[in-house]
Structure 1
Amino acid sequence: MLPNLNTLRVFESVARYQNFRLAAEELHLTQSAVAQRIRQLESDLDIVLFIRQARGLELTEAGLKYQHSIKTALTIINEATRAITQTPQHLVVSVPPSLGAKWLLPRMNEINDTFPHIELRIIASEKKTHFGTDGADFVIRFSQPPFDSTLHSECLSKINLCALASPTYINKNKKIERLADFAEHRLIEDAHENWGKLSKHIALPNASKVLRFEQTSLAIDAALAGQGICISPHMLVEQHLTNGELVLLRRIELSKEQGYFLLYPKNRNFVNDKHLVLRWLKVEMKKMEEKWIDWTRNS
């Protein structure tokens, strides 16, 4: 029995996220309905596509091959349909420069593959946005409430700050066992001045031992180069941590209200597939939150 198109779309989403819940959110289905579709598909094909594990799903070798073919087929179908039913869309998103460089840019290939019919335009800015004059559909800002009452505001991710350094720097310098030990190291500061905010808890080193940058992304790059220890939101360094380029030394707890907030006018409606891009951003940032929770639980 050949599976129907809806079942294949469910499979592609589950294979991409390797998670029933995230696929269900994307497809506007219940988690149990998604799981049932996958069980039925495996039964119809008489092939195991996923290995069920305590922490999620893993594609089998057959599942990986099937995913590649189904993704290609669905892309062809979607593009053919859009070619005759839709005109090209563009979506303008304004994000802080460091979030754009360290979090959004590495995901651009995935965005383009997932939404090939949408031209995503990125504005790198931390300034207050005046909707209607700068052309932004929505903005993401590192901020905290309260916000303008005319704006829809939604926290996409808590700030989740952490102190980091490169393996080279750690191997060459004194071990850090407690918060006060940071004072004996070269610290890398950005415009948020998080080290300065910690001054009531630790004695900071002389100004000559503090490297200062305007943007968090530059502070991260300095840490990657072995120049010292920086403080960064976990979201911006997750890839560097995964690659072993940076080592997470300690959680840094400051304001609990700060985070990355989604903002747009309350009367704004996202038509066609623009709302899907918005949903994709929310899901991806939620995944970052879950990774942070896992790290704090296991550390």
Structure 2
Amino acid sequence: MRLPPLNSLRAFEAAARHRGYVGAAEELHVTRGAVSRHVKLLEDHLGVTLFKRLPKGLELTDHGRRFLPVLTEAFARIVSEAQRISRSGADLRIICPPTFSIRWLIPKLDRFRIDHPDIHIRLTTDFYGATGFDASEYDLGFAMDNRRKRPADIRSLPLLPTSVSPACSPRFLGEYGPFDEPSDLAGKTLLHENAGHEDWKAWLTRFNVEGVDPESGNTFPNLDMAVKAAVMGTGIVMGDLMLCQEELRAGTLVMPFEDMKCETDGWLCLIGREDRWSDPKVEAFKAWISEESAKDVADLVS
């Protein structure tokens, strides 16, 4: 059997709920006669009677009573799914590594929501999988530009330079300092945010420091844990000056060599697929995040 005419299905379902054509006509914004004709068309299509026409209204037949809940549930599911799809069209799906999410992005997101109440941010705070940024799952991501060779269809917007310098707690400085020269760090406990120890290696190379072993010390899964260990006084961390602003401003971390800041190879970037790069939601977020990062870079320099 062919699918019954959809307008006839809607007319019958509304008339059955309202127990008459008048209420159905008002709901569907058509005439009473149009509802009646659609119901008669459906009955002809099915070959059964759905209503008993009574002097004071309509009464469902056994066929009508069986058919009504099926249609009511089907239309409700259609409306629910249409609403879900409509809402998801306003979603902006972003993935961001945990440390950067917690220390930089999340505290700022309320400002974006106030400026763009029509755009719903769906933030995933996680690391990328083994294959890297998945454009089928996310519209945008945050990543270090030098960490992975990206496909040709992935666009990148540089946001923040990675500027680092050793940082430790005042207690650690008082107990093991003063550190007049970088070489004074020899034998001290270095704290690392990853197994490669790249930041310490880059800083020691940049300032030609000898006698300090970048392979020594304690290694943590991420910068957040390494910074917390430094605040507790267990060692000296290579602090990311942008991401450690809270501790530096509060004085729970201090920089023994404040004038010796080193920019590493990569910038933190916003990435996304080329065919969505000019989407209005993406454009709005790109403009906002560029402004936020520019303010923080200016504060870092001043």
Q: TM-score when scaled to structure 2?
A: 0.60
C-alpha contact 2:161 2:263 (8 A) present in aligned 1? no
How far apart are 1:272 and its partner, in Å? 4.1
**Matched AA of 2:292:** E
Contact 1:96–1:142 (8 Å) recurs in 2: no
1:201-223 residue CA offsets vs partner (Å, 9 max, x unmatched): 3323597x612102111111111
Query: 2:192–2:217: 8 Å Cα contact kept in structure 1?
Result: yes
Task: Classify the secondary structure of the residue corresponding to 1:188.
Answer: strand
CA drift at 1:279: 1.5
Give the drift of 1:126: 4.3
Q: Separation in 2 of the partners of 1:126 and 1:178?
A: 39
**Is residue 2:269 matched to residue 1:267?**
no
| Contact 1:156–1:262 (8 Å) recurs in 2 | yes
8 Å CA contact 1:187–1:211 kept in 2: the answer is yes
Aligned mates of 1:174, 1:158 — CA distance in 2: 29
Q: Answer yes or no: is the 8 Å Cα contact 2:165–2:238 preserved in 1.
A: yes
Q: Deviations over 1:83-142 (max 9, x none)?
A: xxx95722111122211121112224333333333322222214411211xx21111102
Identical pairs, percent: 18
1:249 aligns with: 256
Are residues 283 and 121 of structure 1, via their aligned partners in 2, closer, same or farther at CA, if it must alter by over 3 Å? same
| Change in 2 beyond 3 A, CA 1:206/1:278 | closer
CA distance in 2, matches of 1:121, 1:232: 29
| The one of 131, 136, 139 aligned to 1:137 | 139
On the 8 A contact 1:185/1:205 being kept in 2, the answer is no
- Distance of aligned partners of 1:280 and 1:142 in 2 relative to their CA distance in 1, 3 Å threshold: same
Q: Secondary structure at the match of 1:249?
A: coil
Distance across 2 between alignment mates of 1:181 and 1:169: 13
| Pairing 1:190–2:197 present | no
Partner of 2:122: 121
**Deviations 1:176-227 (CA, angstroms, capped at 9, x unpaired):** 12221122422111115122453773323597x6121021111111112222
Distance 1:234-1:136 versus aligned 2 partners, 3 A rule: same
Residue 233 of structure 1 and its aligned partner are, at CA, apart by 2.0
The structure whose Rg is larger is 2
Ranges in structure 1 where 5+ consecutive residues have no aligned partner:
1-85, 295-299
CA distance in 1, matches of 2:300, 2:263: 16
Aligned length: 205
Match of 2:294 in 1: 286
Equivalent pair of 1:115/1:277 in contact (CA under 8 Å): no
**Structure 1-normalised TM-score?**
0.60
- Tell me which amino acid in the other structure corresponds to 2:116: F
Note closer, same or farther for the CA distance 1:270–1:224 as it changes in structure 2 (3 Å cut).
Answer: farther
Which of residues 269, 276, 284 in structure 1 aligns to 2:284? Answer: 276
Residues in 1 aligned to 2:169 and 2:238: alpha-carbon distance in whole angstroms: 12
| Counterpart residue identity of residue 201, structure 1 | V
Q: Which residues of structure 2 form unaligned runs of 5+?
A: 1-85
Partner of 1:258: 266
Q: 1:176 to 1:262 in 2, by over 3 A?
A: same
- Cα RMSD, aligned residues only: 2.7
- SS of the residue corresponding to residue 262 of structure 1 reads strand
Indicate the residue corresponding to 1:72 in structure 2.
Answer: none
